[in-house]
Structure 1
Amino acid sequence: MGINSILAFAFGLFLLYIVGILLVIPIRLIVKLIINGVLGGILLLIVNLIGSFIGISIAINPLTAIIVGIFGIPGILLLLIIQYIL
């Protein structure tokens, strides 16, 4: 085993590490988006339950859940403005 073999092995491990990092980052983003979408759907459900007393409702679908999941309470306000004003 010469120095060339050792350097090639080290370089291969380094490339494997870089590829692993590049694959993990998008997976984290997708998982975060899914979790935020589920939490957004739950928040929409709560708003619909409470809003049913005063006549406010927002349709629960993947798009509205993701909007609320990303923006939170301002997302709900945005959906209400879009629904009732536009």
Structure 2
Amino acid sequence: MDPIVVISIFSGLILIMLFIGAPVKPLRFIGQGVVKILIGALFLFFLNEFGTSLGIYVPINLVTASVSGLLGLPGVAALIAIETWII
């Protein structure tokens, strides 16, 4: 698709949401999920930065960021264990 078409579709959706109103609860749930995934990616980034001297490296992708973001530090520990012993 052309960028003009995409921008005009998003602009139209924003205008519709301004006039009608957005459902608050689903947007809040989606926003919290996105923030948790970003925090998980940040956890993995710091793990990779400080863990390379110990030979620990976990790739950062949507699945690993989701696991580490939703489960927190136990999720990061599980990813390290999976990367070390299984893969």
Could you tell me the TM-score, scaled by structure 2's length? 0.69
1:1-86 to structure 2, matched below 5 A, reads 23-86=23-86
Shift of 1:52: 0.6
Shift of 1:85: 1.8
Q: What 5-or-longer segments of structure 2 have no aligned partner?
A: 1-20
Where 2:49 maps in the other structure, the secondary structure is helix
Tell me the equivalent position of 1:17.
none
Tell me the equivalent position of 2:9.
none
Task: State the distance in 1 between where 2:24 and 2:83 align.
Answer: 37
Runs (4+) of structure 1 exceeding 6 A deviation are none
- Mark the structure with the bigger radius of gyration: 1
Where 1:58 maps in the other structure, the secondary structure is coil
Q: What 5-or-longer segments of structure 1 have no aligned partner?
A: 1-19
Could you tell me the TM-score, scaled by structure 1's length? 0.69
Task: State the distance in 2 between where 1:30 and 1:63 align.
Answer: 16
Shift of 1:45: 0.4
Identical columns (%): 32
Number of equivalent positions: 66
RMSD value, Cα:
1.6
Listed one character per residue, the Cα deviations across residues 22-78 of structure 1 (whole Å, up to 9, x for unaligned) are x32221111011001111111100000000111101000011111111111101011
